[in-house]
Amino acid sequence: MNIQERERNMTENLFKPYALNNTIKLNNRILMAPLTRCMADDELVPTKAMAEYYGRRAEAGLIISEAIIIRPDGQGYPNTPGLFSEAQIDGWQKITEAVHKNGGKIFAQLWHTGRVAHPHFFDGGDVLAPSALIVEGSVPRMRELTYQTPKAVSYEDITHLVKDYAQAAANAIEAGFDGVEIHGANGYLIDQFLHYDSNQRIDEYGGDPENMSRFALSVVDAIIDRIGNERTALRISPGAYFNIVGDKRDREVFDHLLPELELRELAFLHIGIFDDSMEFDYLGGRASSYVRANYSKTLVGVGGYTAETGSEAIAEEQFDLIAIGRPFIANPDYVTRVREGSELVNYTDEMLASLV
């Protein structure tokens, strides 16, 4: 057996079809992870180059789009695409058509950055968050913009946010997406409600695990009501690691949240972590291990895995699907290369400057 044959055998389970539910079946278990590229135009409309970029990667079992802001005040990075105007919907439709033409499936990742939004992007106004707690630092790619103290959202704000998440999901389906992944991870708005460091409310949206889970579940339920549970997924970060400081009480929040999510029969649950070798004392180890122990439905792992280590994790039932990030930037034909046991092109940061 030569090297290529051995590598193919090591990853064979990645190429078995996988049914998310009765509505959506994936050709393989390799997902393209959401990758922020900041390549939309100045009106946050997806471009022709983006359609070509996604279309070339359609061999993934499922593409999860780069994070897409649900409304103007959700923007925290330059030139991140939106899904709240007709022009943006039309732009995304060209992308979903390119992916479907090449035999792929794609979910839209719905995003509001919460307290790491910046009013520079939406002509002033309030930065919204669960509590009026500033995060130190500045906007990536625009270091001259430092973060602002947010406004603690009112009940009226929360009502509008939930409606706008649901409308963005409906817009995604109109644009041809196969479903949506709600971005509830990585220190952004929904995640900010789920951690004590960023949520110090004492009303029905804070103070205890049930209240702190309420906003996330309200968004999930509103989207399910609009587009169906089989087209609704969620990304979460039980381990606080990005723009949030961990608190041992956070585990109690996710102890409450995970059984509630399991009842909702989501398309999948996706771990939000940059490096899944990270361990969290209050979770008893890795975030993915904690979630797997408390959630029995379809789980997506991510965070530094190769095809080989991801295949091994799936074989050991650590999760059901594996999401691959930067290697997909460097290798549009990533799935073919892995299937054939071919050498991968190494990712470099210079590749972020263009869409290929």
Give the pLDDT confidence of 286-324 residue by residue, as tens digits. 999 999 999 999 999 999 999 999 999 999 999 999 999
Band (pLDDT 50/70/90 cuts) for residue 2 is: very low
Domains of the chain with bracketed CATH: 3-347 (3.20.20.70)
pLDDT at 148 over 70: yes
What digits encode the pLDDT tens for the residues 103-119?
999 999 999 999 999 99
Residue range 256-269: mean pLDDT, rounded: 98
In terms of DSSP bridges, do strands 138-139 and 142-146 run parallel, antiparallel, or are they unpaired?
antiparallel
Q: Please write the tens of the pLDDT for every residue from 62-91.
A: 999 999 999 999 999 999 999 999 999 999
DSSP assignment of 3-58, as one string?
A: HHHHHHHHTGGGGS-EESSSS-EESSSEEEPP-----S-TT----HHHHHHHHTTT
Instruction: Supply the pLDDT for residue 141.
Output: 86
The first and second tokens of residue 353, run together, are 């400057």
Does 230 score more than 70 pLDDT? yes
Q: What is the pTM of this model?
A: 0.96
pLDDT of residue 318: 97
Q: Average pLDDT for residues 148-174, to the nearest whole number?
A: 98
Among the listed residues 53, 77, 188, 241, the single catalytic one is 188
The answer to whether residue 54 is catalytic is no
Residue 4: is its pLDDT beyond 70? no
Closest by Cα among 11, 69, 19, 64 to 40: 69
Counting runs of H as helices and runs of E as strands, what totals does the chain give?
A: 11, 14
Q: Which of 129-143, 175-189, 211-225 has the lowest mean pLDDT?
A: 129-143
172 vs 348: CA distance, rounded Å: 31
